Amino acid sequence: MEWGDNAKATFGSDADLEIKHTGTDASITEGTGNLHLINTANDKDVTLQSDDGSGGTANYVVADGSTGEVVLSHYGTQKLATKSTGVTVSGIIISDQSGGTTTLDANGHITSHQKLNQVSAGGRITGTSSQGDMARIDLSQTTNSAHGGYIDFQTANTSGTLTGCMRLLTNGDLRVGNGNSHAPVIQGTTNDGRTAGSPGYTFNGDLNTGMFQPSGVADTIAFSTGGTERMRIDANGNVGIGGTPVPSDANYNLATLHLYQPTAGDGSQIKFTNEDMGHGAGDGGMISYW
């Protein structure tokens, strides 16, 4: 049977199903219940096709009866397929909403200009690379008056209350803990964390006290308080307190301890006292060697 333009075929006592062609467009309309497209052939598909952009046709949606997948394509190129374990995506995912966008590209890189929320228990962001490069997570925060540009890492208790456990500051320093005074801080930007005034391993609120490797001196550890170096251990195990250790005698394979008095007055001292600071009976402090 043939119908002219703008004619329609109706089905049902109330004409609930309508098939119509206007001369330009065609439509199938169900006015009462669900509209089902059913293929009962074993391992066969239901396919929706449309123009491929070049005058031909291409698959856009395929319900694959042999695999159970629903495949979504762009001009015939697969972009998403459902699996028994979830979905497989080819290409870039972009989430666009008020406040910014989040993009997941084909290399597994996530670029976000909005808040990322993980609502399921045990959630995590992971990355792998098959191109000889490391997997990585790059996070950035635009500096503003409300947040100062830092990145916070937080954990939640059983009540859902978030507590800061680590903060990456805009200058590259890493602060461990929830911001309490004297929490550990790793400084990596100011003088590369290699001076007495800005030791690499220091404390929140007291950034000129800590441990560092002196700039230009390999295999050496130094300690500072108040921005001044107080002790250094060199590559040979020599220890200098108040100054740089003098190398041990070349004739002996021994580490040495050197004490310095940086100001005029009494020389350096090592004092040994008994438990009650020498005010009671008993032996005083001792040095034993054998």
CA distance 262 to 254: 25
Instruction: Measure the CA angle with vertex 204, ends 203 and 205; round to 5°.
Output: 110
CA distance 222 to 225: 11
Q: What is the DSSP letter of 192?
A: G
Query: What is residue 118's predicted lDDT score, i.e. its pLDDT?
Result: 45
What Cα–Cα distance (Å) separates residue 142 from each residue in 110, 146, 147, 168?
16, 11, 9, 13
Instruction: Measure the CA angle with vertex 44, ends 41 and 46; round to 5°.
Output: 105
- Residue for token digits 């320093």? 173
pLDDT single digits (tens) 184-219: 888 876 666 689 999 999 998 898 999 999 888 889
Asked which of 20-34, 235-249, 260-274 is least confident by mean pLDDT, the reply is: 260-274
Is the confidence at residue 260, as pLDDT, over 90?
no
Higher pLDDT, 134 or 223: 223
Q: How many CB atoms neighbour CB 91 within 10 A? A: 13
Higher pLDDT, 127 or 253: 253
Query: What is residue 65's predicted lDDT score, i.e. its pLDDT?
Result: 96
Is the confidence at residue 39, as pLDDT, over 80?
yes
Asked which of 28-32, 69-73, 167-171 is least confident by mean pLDDT, the reply is: 167-171
Query: What is residue 117's predicted lDDT score, i.e. its pLDDT?
Result: 52
Q: What is the pTM of this model?
A: 0.47
Most confident listed range (29-33, 65-69, 150-154, 211-215): 65-69
Is the confidence at residue 124, as pLDDT, over 60?
no
* pLDDT tier at 47, thresholds 50, 70, 90: very high
In 3D space, the residue among 226, 254, 261, 227 whose CA is nearest the CA of residue 239 turns out to be 254
Query: What is residue 255's predicted lDDT score, i.e. its pLDDT?
Result: 61
> Three-class SS of residue 233?
strand
**In the predicted model, what is the mean pLDDT of residues 253-270?**
63
Residue-averaged pLDDT of the chain: 77
In degrees and rounded to multiples of 5, residue 221 shows phi and psi of -125, 140
Is the confidence at residue 37, as pLDDT, over 80?
yes
Higher pLDDT, 281 or 196: 196
Q: Which two tokens stand for residue 231?
A: 């002790």
pLDDT single digits (tens) 51-75: 999 999 999 999 999 999 999 999 9
Domain boundaries, the chain: 1-36, 39-112
